[in-house]
Amino acid sequence: MPDTTEALKIAFYALLILALALAIYGHYHPVLPPPPPWQLITNLPAGLAYGGPETTAIAGYYCIESINSSNGYSIQLNALLSNGLWIQDIYGSVPGIASPFFWTNVRTNNELLHAKSTYYINAPCAWLIISIRNGTAYFGYSLDGEGITWYDTYPVGNAVIKPGPSTELVLGGYGNGAQAVLGNGTTLVYLALYYWNGTGWKPAPVGVFLPAGTYTAETVNNAYVFTSGTCGGVVSWPSPVNNTMCPTPMFKP
């Protein structure tokens, strides 16, 4: 006849092990794989949406390591103003024109109010700057991060720059709703966005560009976009790239 005391011990330990197993299972949550740090963008502009506060100036850095587009391209620093105007400071290449250049657009309700371009200039890495001072929007670029060439102005009244999605730094087609068709060759464009807080430049909170509500009509056929969430991002094809560069501007708006 089995020892009753020993049997009770065995049963007690079996129940204890079962209780521990149930407790552990009840507190266990499966570890899900993190979402990819990049997003695949198709038939949309590719880049960064500004998520910071209202401001009077933004500066967008771009550096084109390589770009493989059969239909031209543009790097657009776009700003939606509190009075409804939408203004653009752009660098890019137009099909049929050998050299790239900078140009501006001012629009309201899809109507073009103003446009101006510079002479041809090869600037694969540079800054685009939009600044509002005394009721006037100034458009400029900087090739060294220290001095600014202001090449256009437009009266905007008592307006400020609002957060995105229509305020953004993006890669798209050259204009007129065109698409940058990125082929099998390598495309790698670094982007960084800053805003002026009244006394200095601050790295902007940014997110991967989202199409809802934007006025940008130019797109890319496909591209990967990565952002650190603060300041930096990168557009690449055909492979995703998960690193950024965020140089600090030395100029004042």
Q: Is the pLDDT of residue 80 over 50?
A: yes
202 inside domain? yes
Q: Is the pLDDT of residue 154 over 90?
A: yes
User: 21 falls in which pLDDT band (50, 70, 90)?
Assistant: very low
Q: Supply 64's token pair.
A: 């084109």
Confidence (pLDDT) at 164? 83
Q: Which domain holds residue 179?
A: 38-237
Q: Is the pLDDT of residue 20 over 60?
A: no
171 inside domain? yes
Confidence (pLDDT) at 98? 80
Q: Please write the tens of the pLDDT for every residue from 94-140.
A: 998 889 999 999 999 889 999 999 999 999 999 999 999 999 999 99
Say which residue, 38 or 193, is predicted with more confidence: 193
Beta bridge partners of 226: 38, 234
Query: Domain of 213: which CATH number?
Result: 2.60.120
Q: Is the pLDDT of residue 23 over 50?
A: no
26 inside domain? no
Q: Is the pLDDT of residue 174 over 70?
A: yes
Confidence (pLDDT) at 18? 46
Average pLDDT, the chain: 88
Q: Is the pLDDT of residue 156 over 90?
A: yes
Say which residue, 178 or 13, is predicted with more confidence: 178
Confidence (pLDDT) at 114? 98
Number of domains making up the chain: 1
Q: Is the pLDDT of residue 169 over 90?
A: yes
191 inside domain? yes
221 inside domain? yes
Q: Is the pLDDT of residue 186 over 90?
A: yes
Q: Is the pLDDT of residue 86 over 60?
A: yes
12 inside domain? no
pTM, 2 dp:
0.86
30 inside domain? no
Q: Please write the tens of the pLDDT for every residue from 228-246.
A: 899 999 999 999 999 999 9
Confidence (pLDDT) at 58? 98
Q: Please write the tens of the pLDDT for every residue from 37-76.
A: 789 999 999 999 999 999 999 999 999 999 999 899 999 9
250 inside domain? no
State CA 244 to chain mean position distance: 11
Average confidence (pLDDT) over 154-168: 95
